[in-house]
Structure 1
Amino acid sequence: MRVVLIGTNPLTLATARMLQDEGVDVILIERDKERIEQLSEQLDCGFLHGDAGSPDVLKEAEPENTDALFSLLDNEQTNIIVALVARSLKFSRVVPLVAESQFERICTELGLADTVAPNRAVARHLVNQIRGEKSLELAAIIHRDAEVFSFIVTQDEAGPLADFSLPKATRIICLYRHEKLVLPEETDRLAADDEVIVITRPSRLDELKRLWERPAKPDERSE
C-alpha cells in the first residue's frame, strides 16, 4: 500500500509513523525544504518538495500508484482545496481533515465522502468521560462487512420518511437536523439539508456514492 500525506504537522507525522509501522509506503509533501532535510534524518519515507495545492506537484506523487491521499493540515480550507485537486487528478481516495461543522457540510456537498472531522468525536468522548460512561469508537463496532455513509437531503428528496427510497441492504441509523441528532422514530419526514447517516454493506457503497455525491463540474474534471 502507498499513501501520500500533505504537510508535516504533528498529526501528519504521527500518522506517517503509524502507517510505516504497518508496512505502508509513505510519501510526504512539504513546501519547506529545510523541514524536509530535517525530517529525512528521522523518517524513512519519500519526500516531495512543493505546494500540495498545485496540480503539478500532486502529479509528481503518482496518483495512479497511490491508494490514498491524506490532507491533515491545520487550515481546513486548504485541506478541501487539496482534496478537490487530488480528486481531479484521479487519486483513488482523498481524505481531508476539517474541524468546523460548516466545512463538514461543504465536504459532503462536494462529494468528499472520506472527510475526517475530529472535533465532534473528541467532544463526545470528553462528555462521556464526564458522565462516567465508556465511549465506543465507531470503527470498533462496525466490522468489515459493514460501512457507514452520510449524505445531505436535497429539496427534491424532502418528504415522508416512509416514501424515501434507499438501495437494498441499506438502513438509516439517524440524521442530523440543524446540528441536532434525530432518530428515525422521532420524525416522519426528511427535510432539505438534513444529514442522513446510513449503514450498508460494502458492496452497496459505490451505488450510494453515485446517488448522492455531487457530480463534478467541467472545470473539476481532468482533461
Structure 2
Amino acid sequence: MKIVFIGASSLAIATAQQLLRAGHEVIIIENDKTVIDKLMPHIDCVFLHGNGSKPAILKETDPATIDVLFCLTKSDEANIIASLVARSLGVKRVITRVEDPEFEHICVGLGLTNTIIPTLTHARYLANIAAGRDVLELSAIFRGNVKLFSFIATENEAGAVSDLDLPKHTRIIFCYRDNQFLPLDHDSKIEPADELVLVTTVADYEKLHAKWGNGKDIS
C-alpha cells in the first residue's frame, strides 16, 4: 500500500516505522525542514517539505494512488483542513487526528468519518488499568473478517433497535448517549444523536458504510 503522513509527529513516525517494516510505501509531509533533516538518516521513506494542507504539496504525492492518508499534525484545525483538501483531490481514505473531542462530530458532519482522538483513547486505557481491569487489544479479540462500525443516529433511526434494518451478520452492541456508555439489547430504544457501535463483517461493513455515510470503522 501507499501511505502518506501529514505531520512528522511521534505518532506518525511510530506508525510509519511499522508500516515500512511491513513493506509498504510511506511518504511523510512535514513543514519543518529541521525535523526532516533529523529524521532522514533514521527512516527509509520519502520526505516532502511543505504545508500538507496545500493542494500543490499534496498533488506531488499523486493523490489518486494513495491508499491511506494520515493527518497527524499537532493542530486539529490543520488536520481537518488537510483532510478536506485530500478528499477533494481524490484520496481514497483519510484518517484525521483531533485532540479536542468537540471536533469529532464536526468531522463526521464534514464527511471525515475516520477520526481518531488519541488522548481520549489513552485516557480510557489508563483508567481501566488504574481500576485493575484487564485491558485487551482489539486485534487480540477480533479475528478474521470481524470489524467494528459506529455512526450517529438521526431521527430516521430513532425507535426500537429491532426496527433498525441491519445486514444479516451485523449487531448493535452498545451506544454512547451524552458521552455515557449504554448497553443495548433487542428491545432498547435508540434516540437521535446516539453514537451506535456495531459488530459486523467485512462484507456487511461495505453495506453499512453505503447506508450510513457518516459512520466510521473503529476496529
Q: Distance in 1 between matches of 2:175 and 2:187?
A: 10
Structure 1 segments (4+ residues) deviating >6 Å:
none
Report SS of the residue matched to 2:116.
Answer: coil
**2:121 corresponding residue in structure 1:** 121
Q: 3-state SS of the aligned residue for 2:115?
A: coil
Alignment size in residue pairs: 214
Report deviation, 1:123. Answer: 1.7
Q: 2:21 is matched with which residue?
A: 21
Residues 20-73 of structure 1: CA deviation (Å, up to 9, x unaligned): 222221101012233323322232210112111112211111122222111111
Change (3 A) 1:82 1:144: farther
Q: 2: distance between equivalents of 1:178 and 1:187?
A: 20
Taking structure 1 as the reference length, the TM-score comes to 0.88
Alpha-carbon separation, structure 2, partners of 1:194 and 1:13: 34
Partner of 1:95, secondary structure, is strand
Aligned partner of 1:69 in structure 2 is: 69
Is the 1:110–1:213 Cα contact (8 Å) retained in structure 2? no
Which residue type is aligned with residue 58 of structure 2?
L
TM-score (norm 2): 0.89
| Unaligned residue ranges in structure 2 (runs of 5+) | 215-219
Aligned-pair distance for 1:112?
Answer: 2.5
| 1:200 alignment partner AA | T
**Structure 2 matches for 1:21-170, cutoff 5 A?**
21-170=21-170
Q: Which moved more, 1:165-174 or 1:97-106?
A: 97-106
Q: Is 125-134 or 33-42 further displaced after alignment?
A: 33-42
What is the alpha-carbon distance in structure 2 between the residues aligned to residue 145 and residue 4 of structure 1?
25
Identity among equivalent pairs (%): 41
- Tell me the C-alpha RMSD between the 2 structures: 1.9
**Aligned partners of 2:205, 2:162: CA distance in 1, in Å?**
22
Would you say the 8 A contact 1:2–1:26 is kept in 2? yes
* CA positional deviation for 1:187: 6.8
